[in-house]
Every structure is written in C-alpha cells, then in structure tokens.
Structure 1
Amino acid sequence: MAQSTVERERTTPGGPERVGGAGWTAVWLTGAVALAAEGVLALVVYFLAGLRDEYYLAAGVPAYVGYLFVSVVVMVLLGLAGLICSAAVVLPVVQLSRWSARKRGRPETARWCLAVCGTVAATAALCIGVPTALFGGGWTALPLVLLVAFVGLVPAVLCSRAVTVLRRTGARFGLAAGVLGCGLALSAVVFVGGLAAYGTGLIQEYEPPRLTKTQLVGVWSDDQGGTLTLRADGTAVADELGVHDADTATSGEAHEHCDGSGSWSKGAAPDGTSQLALDVTDCRAVSSWQFGGTEEQPTLFHWIGDPDSLKRHILHRGAPAQ
C-alpha cells in the first residue's frame, strides 16, 4: 500500500512546493500586505471619485495635523484588518486550492487557483446576496458581492500562492515586501494621476452651482420647518428661520429662530464665488448664504461657527415637507 502511494505521488503532476512554518508565515504576511494595499488603493479611488461630488475640507495647520493623524490610524487599521483577513480567508483559500488540486490528481496552477477563488466568491455572494435580496435589499447585492469578493480575493490569493512556489525563505519574505511596495506605488500613481486629471480638466471637479437671480427666487426651507422666501422684486421674508449662535455651534441645532422681512441680492463671497446677501430684520446673524448642491438640486448654506468645523445650516429649495 505504501509503494502504491509513493507511485501515485510520483505520477501526480507537480505543483507548488510544500512549505513549513516559516513559509506559511510568509504566505500569511503576503496575503495581509496584499489586502492592505488593496484597501489603500480602494480608499484612493474613493477619495478621487468623491471630488466630483459636493465636499468641503477644513484648512489650517490643526486640520492638516488631524488629516495626518487620521491617515496613520487608517493605515494601522488596514494593516490589522489585512492580517486578520489573510488568516481567516486567504490562507484557507490557498490551502483549499492545493487540496482540491491534489484530490483531482492535477497540478495546482494559477488557473486552478482562480477557479477556486471564483467558487469561494460565488459562495459568499449566495450567502450574503440572497438573504439581502429576500429581506428587501434588492438582487443587485448578489453580483455586487460576487464582484467585490472575487476582485478582492484574486490578487491576495495569487500573491500568497506565489510564495508557496519559492524554495528559499528569504525569497518568500522578499516577495511579501515586494507586494507591499508595488501596491503602495500603484496607489501613489493612481492618486497623482487622478489629481492631474482634475487639474487639467480631464475630469471635472465639483463646483458650486452658479445660480442666477431668477433661480434664487422662490421658497427655501431648512430641516426644522423654517423658510426663507425670496421674491423677484428683491424683497425677502423669513419665517421661523433657524439661527445658530456660539452656544449652538457645537451641537449643530438651532434653538433660536428669526422672523421678519427685508431685502436680498446676489453678491460675491470673499473667495470670489457668488453668494446670497440677506438683509432681514432680526436675521442679521445669517446675512450671507453660500451656494451648494447641484444645478438640479441647489442649496443655500452658511457655516455654523468656525468653517473648519464643517458644520452647515442648509436650506433646500421648496416648502418644508408636511
């Protein structure tokens, strides 16, 4: 029986070399850095795509220090998530690929590994997408989970599988470092390329709508039932319009309201963009409103407290919902 087993192993097509404890540590680290690099790339793409939507960034040294701190925290979290997901997902998939190929008596090739990744991704899509659809989430979750799982698995699993092919321990850990370096380099290239595309106008960055006086005429309301009516003759009427002072700036909720009538005009903000200049009795605390939103769904807003807080009081076009 032992002789038969030896003969069967000799006739089985070759595959990746067996790896020991240090080798599997390299496999684990390679999967972790690949997943972390994928996370960095996804965040870069998400950030660049977000520049097409309405956004506001705080400025100044404290804000920049905060951004740096958040970036470091995110990188640490991505690294920890990569280590956990590599042990929980990538290593089992690599083992499953090797085991299933051995069971079928065939070499464990990259193509076979891709097929296993596809099977695992399809299983995840069924386990997550079907319950989501049945509970009202829509069947679009099924292909979405399949795509995300497959795209997320393949690079990490293939890179980890490549470690099992190498014979020397140093080369295995070197591959892990190379995967990390290539992933970060790709993210940097995408980031710089995206900024260049926005800078040259190849991709249009978000810009506030350029509202005309005719477009400003009408009723504007906030989410607390207050309204601001702008008339074509330049008069304005405020009804229960929310007012924020120094005490309410931190909470973002207006506990005071202003009523009255006055005038309005279209003026220029300090940064050169257009804004609404409002001169209404008892509402002089909110005398200037900037334009936001889109051409189809414009908004008027003013900053609550320091603009670096990014808190805004927003008015939407139309009467408040009943």
Structure 2
Amino acid sequence: MAPSAVEIVNFVEMARESPMRGDGPGMALLMLPFLLCFGLPAAVLGTLCAVLPTLSLADWAGRRGGAGRDAWWRVPVAAGCWAAVVALWPAAAGGGPGTWWWAWLCGTAALSTVALLTRWALSRVRPYRSLLGAGLLSVAAVLGTGSLAYGTGLVDEYAPPRVHASDLAGTWNDGRGGTLRLDPDGRAVAVGTRGDDSEPDPVDRGCEGSGTWRFEPDDNPWLQHVAIDAGGCWPGEWTLGGTAGRPKLNYAYGDPDSPDWYVLTRSR
C-alpha cells in the first residue's frame, strides 16, 4: 500500500501550486526498493500494533453482539477507536482539537482500508499471494487513474504563468513589510526584504538597495526566470510562480536538494 500512497501524493502535488516542479508518480517506482527494504519493519510494526488489534477488536465485538465475523462494518468502527487514541499525540503536541480531528479522520480511513484488505486476504487460501496481488493491482489502478485524469485534461497539471517583462513591472511584497519595486526601465529597488530569520543565509539578514533587473523568457514556463541585482541582495535567479492573476517571484536558498523559498507576491 505504501507505493500506492506515494503515487496518490505525487499525483495530488502535480496539481498544486508549487515553486518547483514535482517528481510525479514515477517517484513511487524509484522508491519501491527503499520502501521494500526499509519500510518492511515499519509495516510489520504497524500490523502488530494496529491492524491485528483492530481485527481482533472487531471480531470480539461481533461475537459479543451476536453478529459474528460477517459484520465487516465493525472493522472501521474499531479502527476509529484506535485512531482516536493515536490522534491524541499530535493534538497534545500543540495541534489542538482541529489537528486531532484530521488525524483521527485520516487514521481511521487508512487503518480501515488496510484492515479490511487484510480481513479479506485472511479468508483466502493463499493470503500472502492475495495481499501481494491486491497491492500490485492497487499500484496499477492508481497509476492508470491518475494518468487518465491528467491525460484527458480532467485535472490540469500546475505550471507557472507565462508572463512578459511588462507584466513584472510594479511592486512586490513578502507579506512581512519587505517590498521590491521593479520599474519598467529595468531599475530595481528593495526595501526591508528578508527571508526566514532562522536560516544563516545572506538573504535572511535583511537587504535594502537598488540595482537592475531583467526577465529571461523561455518556452518552458518552469525555466523562465528573473535576474535581480538590487545591491547584491540575491545572487542567482528568481523563478515565476503563482497564477496569471496573482503571480509570484520565488527565490531558493539553503539546501539545494531541499531548498527554502523566499516568496514575493505582486501587489494589487
């Protein structure tokens, strides 16, 4: 089920606004060896601590209630009880009641799905083969459904808006008092701009200055960028993001493999 979950997450991320292009569902296939090697202990632990107790609780409740083992709907009820207890941890960590609600809902759905699949497999002659077959079918079904949704245009993959240099002229702000003004003549003026104060990066120490800017178009919207030199504040390139009605300028800093982003939004 882990590769299926990775596929679903990657398909959803393809449609969400992001400062950088996602890896896509193919990442699930690349991660498959890792999931099999390092995810197996976690899967065994989850089976012993969650799945089997859920099935045992549902079976016990069915026998006590006279419904027997055919009362499949008792499995989600039992899963909800386990999820309610587990959800107390993120809620107590500072998330509050709202976090508990979402943790309970997601935990109940995930545990119910796995427990019902396990319940079905245990009734088969070869349960392990049945589980493996169901898992492979799940991976294929998610890949096929997601590819069909994007291929037919039912769901659109996110892409940065295509812009012209004239669309970028104006004032941009970071939502924390910092502004960047890009004039039509190519002049750039930064006032109070800064990134995440917790990172020891030059962009985080604050910067004010003036200089120049230029737009570098590209047929691929992910490759179009803006080069800004406002007093040497940001070496490198800014990428485009947001939407056509609300464009954004994104600057990556920190770890190149998992960067933080300083985002400026066009003022209306």
TM-score normalized by the length of structure 2: 0.70
- 1:81 corresponds to: 42
CA distance in 2, matches of 1:125, 1:179: 23
Alpha-carbon spacing, 1:76–1:215, altered in 2? closer, same or farther (3 Å): same
Alpha-carbon spacing, 1:258–1:153, altered in 2? closer, same or farther (3 Å): closer
CA distance in 2, matches of 1:179, 1:310: 35
CA distance in 2, matches of 1:289, 1:236: 13
Post-superposition offset of 1:310: 5.3
Which has the higher mean CA deviation after the structures are superposed, 75-84 or 308-317?
308-317
The yes-or-no answer on 1:209 pairing with 2:161 is: yes
Post-superposition offset of 1:136: 6.2
- 2:225 corresponds to: 275
CA distance in 1, matches of 2:200, 2:147: 32
Q: State the AA in 2 paired with 1:114.
A: W
- 2:210 corresponds to: 261
- 1:154 corresponds to: 112
The yes-or-no answer on 1:291 pairing with 2:240 is: yes
Q: Secondary structure at the match of 1:190?
A: helix
| Cα offsets for 1:88-131 (capped at 9, x unmatched) | 2222233334444444555321xx2422x233233235435678
Is contact 1:121-1:146 (8 Å) kept?
A: no
CA distance in 2, matches of 1:75, 1:119: 30
| Cα offsets for 1:240-285 (capped at 9, x unmatched) | 777xxxxxxxx87127887653443443148465433446565694
Which of the numbers 94, 107, 114 marks the counterpart of 2:73?
114
Post-superposition offset of 1:182: 1.9
Alpha-carbon spacing, 1:201–1:160, altered in 2? closer, same or farther (3 Å): closer
Alpha-carbon spacing, 1:234–1:123, altered in 2? closer, same or farther (3 Å): same
Q: Secondary structure at the match of 2:110?
A: helix
The yes-or-no answer on 1:138 pairing with 2:97 is: yes
RMSD: 4.3
- 1:90 corresponds to: 51
- 1:314 corresponds to: 262
Alpha-carbon spacing, 1:41–1:87, altered in 2? closer, same or farther (3 Å): same
Segments of 5+ residues of structure 1 without an aligned counterpart are 1-36, 243-250
Which of the numbers 112, 124, 127 marks the counterpart of 1:175?
127
Segments of 5+ residues of structure 2 without an aligned counterpart are none
Q: Following superposition of structure 1 onto structure 2, how do residues 7-156 of structure 1 map, counting pairs within 5 Å?
A: 37=1, 39-53=2-16, 54=18, 56=20, 68=30, 70-105=31-66, 107-109=68-70, 112-115=71-74, 117-127=75-85, 132=91, 137-139=96-98, 141-142=100-101, 144-156=102-114
Is contact 1:129-1:139 (8 Å) kept?
A: no
Q: Secondary structure at the match of 1:264?
A: strand
| Cα offsets for 1:50-102 (capped at 9, x unmatched) | 0112153599xxxx99x94x542233343222211212222223333444444
Q: Answer with 1 or 2: which has the greater Rg.
A: 1
CA distance in 2, matches of 1:258, 1:157: 55
